[in-house]
Every structure is written in structure tokens, then in C-alpha cells.
Amino acid sequence: MLEPAFSIFYSSQTGDNHGFVLIFICRFCADCALITLKPLNSVTPNLSVNMNSEQIKNIKIRKLDKGAEIPYHLLLLADPSENAINRYLNNSEIYIAELKSKIVGVYVLYPVNDTTVEIKNIAVEESYQRNGIGKLMLAHAAQTSRNKNFNRIIIGTGNSSIGQLYLYQQQGFEIFDIKKNFFVDNYPDPIFEDGIQCKHMIMLERKINASG
Ligand code: ACO
């Protein structure tokens, strides 16, 4: 049987968001790597966007207007249950991150009591993730809560959400509780992330006061 002379060795998205770099390795000698650019944006609409610092500066975060359409498609990235989302939305404030009036992120602030507020939901549109918008929204949530005289902000995430746990601790949150089997008991289907079952809710807190 004839074998192809080249095999695709690696493909990766290009920074300008207009295609993929495909590296073909010749099967006769692995030295002659051939790099070609192939426009794929028509078939791969969900490419990630690499934002530069100017674009990041143009991100505006504001409270969602009363009666405006709720960006459920984003909220569902953080919480797979629309019923659960609707339960906390009633008593919460919704904030959106916009880039030139396109909504690219959302977070939800829920007052737990007079001193503590919870970020019930935080999400960034998939193609805009890993550009620092999550960090911006966490900082905005802290400042908003401080302005409203809360002195503690809490957030919960699954045991399998390693990136999120990293991000929250990097932003000054510390683990204070674990709600054992929260996701097993409250969600109809098992949830897996990167092969790890999401069973427990890890609760993190950050003290907020005038200085930080
Ligand atoms: N994997 C690994 N590290 C991550 C990840 C990830 N998925 N997400 C964030 N990080 C870490 C990285 O260290 C990252 O810095 P780096 O890219 O320089 O390495 C750092 O956090 C900062 O990330 P940001 O770019 O500010 O975060 P982003 O804009 O992607 O927003 C968020 C983070 C909100 C978690 C986003 O990835 C997302 O929407 N995920 C899907 C929904 C979700 O899981 N939401 C949180 C659920 S918990 C809750 O809602 C209360």
C-alpha cells in the first residue's frame, strides 16, 4: 500500500486568527519540515482571539441594564444548569464585559449577608479566554463589592476546575470550605473536566477592605 510522503505533524492556530500553521514532516527524512499556512476560518468559527494590550484596555465592564437580554450562553459556560442560574439571578446583579459593545464576559454578584457577597457565576466567551478578561472581572467585582461596603467576597468552583482554582488563588482568594458531593447531589448528570469527576465545590474567600 502506498504511504503518504508527508504526514501532518503539528497544527496550531496562528496569532492573527486567520488560519492554522500546518507542519508537514517528510516520512523519508524528518529534517525537511515544510510549513504552510492554510486559511481555515470558514470551517473553524470558534478560533481563539489573541488580544493585545490596547484591546484589553478597551474592555468596559458595567452593570447589565434592567430588562436587557441576559447572556445565558455565557452564564451556561460556568454553570450547566439554567434552573440553578435562574434561582440566583433573581437576587443578584449581573455585570458584563464588553469589547466595542460585544459582550465577551459576564459575572454575577449575589449578596449572601450584610458583609459577604458571592460571585455566583463568572464566564468569558470561549474565543476570548486567556486574555486577562477573567482577571479584570475579578478585580472589578472586588472594587464593586468594596464600594457597596461588603468586606468579604466568596466564590465556589468544582474540584476538577484546576485553571479556575489557579486563577482565583492568584487573585488573592483562599480556600475556606469544601461542600462535599455538591455536584453529585445537585446536578442530574455526572460532570467531568479533563478526565476528573467534578464532585465537590471548593469555596474560596477574599477579604476586601479599603486598601485591597
Ligand atoms: N486553564 C488553565 N489556567 C487557566 C484557565 C484554564 N482553563 N483559565 C484561567 N487560567 C489561569 C491562567 O493562569 C491564566 O493566565 P495565563 O493565561 O497567563 O496562563 C489566568 O488564569 C488568567 O486568566 P484570564 O485570561 O484572566 O481568564 P479568562 O479571561 O480566561 O477567564 C474564566 C477565566 C472565567 C474561568 C474563563 O476561562 C471561563 O469562562 N471558563 C469557563 C467558565 C468557567 O469555568 N467559569 C468559572 C466557574 S466557577 C464560577 O462561575 C463561580
- pLDDT tens digits, one per residue of 33-50: 333 333 334 344 557 899
What pLDDT, on the 0 to 100 scale, is given for residue 158?
97
In a domain, 13, yes or no: no
pLDDT band at 169 (very low <50, low <70, confident <90, very high): very high
The answer on pLDDT for 190 being more than 70 is yes
Q: How many angstroms separate the Cα of 154 from the Cα of each of 7, 77, 200?
A: 49, 19, 16
pLDDT band at 197 (very low <50, low <70, confident <90, very high): very high
In a domain, 8, yes or no: no
Over the stretch 98-116, which tens digit does the pLDDT of each residue have? 999 999 999 999 999 999 9
Total number of domains constituting the chain = 1
Q: How many angstroms separate the Cα of 149 from the Cα of each of 99, 144, 162?
A: 29, 9, 31
What pLDDT, on the 0 to 100 scale, is given for residue 18?
42
What pLDDT, on the 0 to 100 scale, is given for residue 182?
96
C-alpha grid cell, residue 73: 450562553
**Are β-strands 93-99 and 174-179 bridged in parallel, bridged antiparallel, or unpaired?**
unpaired
User: Given the CA of residue 158, which atom of ligand 1 is nearest to it?
Assistant: 48
The answer on pLDDT for 157 being more than 80 is yes
Q: What is the mean pLDDT of residues 84-101?
A: 95
CATH code for position 70: 3.40.630.30
| Structural domain span for residue 130 | 46-207
pLDDT band at 80 (very low <50, low <70, confident <90, very high): confident
Whose Cα sits closest to atom 34 in ligand 1? 123
Q: Ligand 1 pocket check: which of 125, 129, 157, 204 to mutate, most ligand atoms within 8 Å of Cβ?
A: 129
In a domain, 156, yes or no: yes
In a domain, 105, yes or no: yes
CA dist 122 and 9 (Å) reads 36
In a domain, 10, yes or no: no
The alpha carbon of 36 and the centre of ligand 1 are apart by a number of angstroms equal to 31
In a domain, 192, yes or no: yes
148 lines ligand 1 (CB under 6 A): no
**Among the listed ranges 36-50, 82-96, 98-112, 131-145, which one has the minimum average pLDDT value?**
36-50
The answer on pLDDT for 13 being more than 70 is no
Q: Ligand 1 pocket check: which of 96, 167, 182, 201 to mutate, most ligand atoms within 8 Å of Cβ?
A: 167
Over the stretch 52-70, which tens digit does the pLDDT of each residue have? 998 899 999 999 999 999 9
